[in-house]
Amino acid sequence: MAIASTRGSKPPVRFGSLSFLGLNSSASEFASARAVILPVPYDGTTTYRAGTREGPRAILLASRELELYDEETQTEACHSGIVTLEELAVTVASPRDMVERVREAGEFILEAGKLPVLLGGEHLLSLGMIEAAARHFEDLSVLHLDAHADLRSSYQDSPYSNACVMHQALRHASLVQVGVRSMTREEHQLITESKIPCFLAHQLWRDAHLWEQIVPRLSSHVYISIDLDVFDPALMPAVGTPEPGGLGWYEVIGLLRRVTQARRVVGFDVMELLPQGQSMASEFLAARLVYKLLSYILLDSKR
C-alpha cells in the first residue's frame, strides 16, 4: 500500500520494500534518520515520451549496487540515516491534486525535522515539494538545474504542466536557473523582465568564471531541483526531451559542492529519468547523483 494522502491530515509513515541503497527502512530508522526518500511514479502531463513514472524504481534498484563509501568526501552518508518511504499513491483526478499530495508528504517530512529527497517522475511534482519547503523557510530560493526554462504560464491549456513548474514556483520562492538551453521567446522575456538569474549552458561553456556567480544569487535556504536532462545526452540519454550541449558530471557536482558548503540545502529532487532498458548507465548516474548530494549535505550539516 502506498502513502495515503487525505487533505488536511498528515500522511502515515509507510516504508517501501525497495529502499535506497538497500538500507533498512522502519519506524526506528525513521526516528533517527536525517534524510527521507520519497518516490513518486507519476508522469501525467508528459507530452513527448512517457515513462518517467518508472524512474523512481529504476533509481532505487540501481542504488543497491553503489558503494556506500564516497571517495571524495571520505564519508559513508548512509550512517547518518537514510530511509525510503513507499511510493506516493497516484491520483489521476488532476495534476494539481498530484502536486497537492506531494506537498502534504513534503510537509510531513519537514515537520519531522528530516531532509526530503523527491524521486520522480515528471518535473511538475517538484512544485509540491517547493511549496512545502516555502512554508517552512521564508527566504527559500530554488536552484533549478535543467535543459529547459519551464517558465511557461500555461501549456496545453493548463498551468499545471511540467513545462510550467518553475513559473508556478516563482509564487513561493526566488529562482536561479543553471544549464538552460531551450526556451520560448515568452520565457526569455519573463527571465529578462523579472531579472531571474539564468545561467545558460552556452554561457557557462564560454566563460568558466560564471560558475562562481551562481551561489551568491542564492538565499540562505536552498531547495535544489534537478531535471536529469541538464546533463549532456551523451552522458544522460534516458530522458524524455534530451537537448544537445548539456553539462558534464563534474560541472554539476562541482556546483552542488559549492552550494552545500555555502548555503543550507533544505531538500532536493532528481527528476525525469526515463529508463531505456538496453543500458543501465543513466540509472546509475541518477542514483550516484542522489547519494553524492546526500554526502555533501550531510557532511556540511555537521560542521
The DSSP line for 195-228 is: T--EEEHHHHHH-GGGGGGTGGGS-SEEEEEEEG
Q: How far is CA 254 from CA 78, 154, 260, in A?
A: 21, 33, 10
* The predicted structure's pLDDT at residue 1: 28
Phi, psi of 3 (to 5 degrees): -60, 125
Name beta bridge partners: 267. 223
The position carrying cell 518517467 is 52
Question: CA-to-CA distance for 73 and 53, rounded, in angstroms?
Answer: 32
Q: State the fold for domain 20-300.
A: Arginase; Chain A (3.40.800)
Q: What string of pLDDT tens digits covers the 303 residues of the chain?
A: 234 443 444 556 789 889 999 999 999 899 999 999 999 999 987 777 779 999 999 999 999 999 999 999 999 999 999 999 999 999 988 999 999 999 999 999 999 999 999 999 999 999 999 999 999 999 999 999 999 999 999 888 888 898 999 999 999 999 999 999 999 999 999 999 999 999 999 999 999 999 999 999 999 999 999 999 999 999 999 999 999 999 999 999 999 999 999 999 999 999 999 998 878 999 999 999 999 999 999 997 754
The position carrying cell 571524495 is 72
* The predicted structure's pLDDT at residue 2: 38
* The predicted structure's pLDDT at residue 174: 98
Question: CA-to-CA distance for 43 and 57, rounded, in angstroms?
Answer: 14
The C-alpha angle 224, 230, 236, rounded to 5 degrees, equals 120
Phi, psi of 42 (to 5 degrees): -135, 135
* The predicted structure's pLDDT at residue 5: 41
The C-alpha angle 250, 254, 255, rounded to 5 degrees, equals 125
SS3 at position 126: helix
Segments making up each domain of the chain, as ranges: 20-300
Q: Which three cell numbers stand for residue 221?
A: 535556504
The position carrying cell 536561479 is 176
* The predicted structure's pLDDT at residue 54: 96
* Percent composition of the chain: helix, strand, coil (DSSP 3-state, to 5): 40, 20, 40
* The predicted structure's pLDDT at residue 60: 98
- The answer to whether residues 130 and 225 touch, using CB atoms and an 8 Å cutoff, is yes
User: What per-residue string of b and e applies to 208-222 under the rule 16 or more CB within 10 Å gives b?
Assistant: eeeeeebbebbbebb
Q: Which three cell numbers stand for residue 176?
A: 536561479
- The answer to whether residues 275 and 284 touch, using CB atoms and an 8 Å cutoff, is no
* The predicted structure's pLDDT at residue 278: 79
Q: How far is CA 11 from CA 73, 86, 92, 99, 133, in A?
A: 34, 11, 19, 14, 17
* The predicted structure's pLDDT at residue 260: 97
pTM for the model stands at: 0.95
- The answer to whether residues 66 and 78 touch, using CB atoms and an 8 Å cutoff, is no
* The predicted structure's pLDDT at residue 300: 75
* The predicted structure's pLDDT at residue 11: 58
Largest CA distance in the chain: 51
Q: Which three cell numbers stand for residue 34?
A: 536525517
